[in-house]
Amino acid sequence: MKKNIHPDYHIVNVQMTNGTVFQTRTVWGKEGDTLTLDIDPTVHPAWIGGRGGMLDAGGQVARFNKRFGGLTLGKK
């Protein structure tokens, strides 16, 4: 490895939204800094399996099928 071209890789604290803290190695910040997360796996719908009101269940698909359900690509 070439010398003096790589960023400093060090330990920082990561604080999750529920207050828990863990340590990880990163190039972000300085040694001992705390990275406070606004969104993390304990609250984000993508990780907890909920939709959180972002999309209606089945509404988009039903609307598409109602609008384009009779179309065919083959010859009759």
Alpha-carbon distance of 34 to 23, in angstroms, equals 9
Please give the pLDDT value at position 51: 58
Q: Using one digit for the tens of pLDDT, what is the confidence trace for 12-44?
A: 999 999 999 999 999 999 999 999 998 888 887
Assess contact for 17 and 41: CB atoms under 8 A. no
Residues 6 or more apart whose Cβ sits within 8 Å of residue 40: 16, 17
